[in-house]
Chain A
């Protein structure tokens, strides 16, 4: 019995597969049950729980690969070319921001997640702005910034709880 952080080789590959599947299920839940809010772009970001836990427990490389695989699979299974473009922009930019903030070691998981949520929304707005060739979409930014912060903190709290359990117990 070894903890997730210490797993090597095939055990780690298996763990990555399971975590990718879990992240995909979170994506699917959000696709099935959209939030009853009229503003497009606001979502909980449940899959980011997995991304955060991976980032802290497995490292940047594995977390990035799990996240990109999750986005690609979600687009293939229940998305479209456009949704993949939005999701990939949001996923890659927010991941880069979260990985950089984590490296500074100054911020908590919640802080990292909060910034990730904001930059996820910002990247998606930028893609929307490019697609419709209009800067008007940035009127949504303050709303999406606040929602990104709120959901990011919530997801960060959940991820912290999970990381505490992983530190105590063993997964594999």
Chain B
């Protein structure tokens, strides 16, 4: 073992760059597969609760056996306006609009997924 190990070596910089490239590469790969979604699909406990068009602004009150959530659809985006869950992760998640994006409210076993036309049917069945 070295007696006074140095804090940083030159190779660390290359390692950091390699890791960052890995991260940005993953992000670019995921983004390239994304497009604007047309529906917000709401499931409670894995079963379909409802599917809402993103091009019509509306407020949806969702009563689950575990608690209440209020989903707001506005300007092609969906976000959780209110929830009586303890952590409010779903409200802090913010707005989603791209296919595959998801708002989860784990305490209420609620998931809001952005989907495209035709995509909601097979998924609903596979649950």
Interface residues of A (CB under 8 A from B): 5, 38, 56-57, 101, 106-111, 114-115, 118, 136, 138-139, 141-142, 145-146, 149, 156-157, 160, 163-164, 167-168
Contacts and interface: CB of A to CB of B under 8 A. Distances in A.
Given A56-B1, A167-B3, A111 B12 contact: yes
Contacts of A168: 3
Interface string B94-124: 0000001110000000000000000000000
Q: List the 8 closest A-B pairs by CB distance, nearest first.
A: A111-B12, A145-B23, A106-B11, A108-B9, A167-B3, A142-B23, A142-B27, A111-B15
Contacts of A101: 15
B82 interface: no
B89 interface: yes
A144 B89 CA distance: 17
Tell me the dominant secondary structure on chain A's binding face. helix
A101 B15 CA distance: 10
Q: B7, B11, B12: which has the most chain A beta carbons within 10 Å? A: B12
A160 B1 CA distance: 12
A144 to B, nearest CB: 9
Contacts of A157: 7
A149 B15 CA distance: 10
Given A141-B27, A146-B23, A110 B3 contact: no
Interface in B4-26: 4-9, 11-12, 15-16, 19-20, 22-24, 26
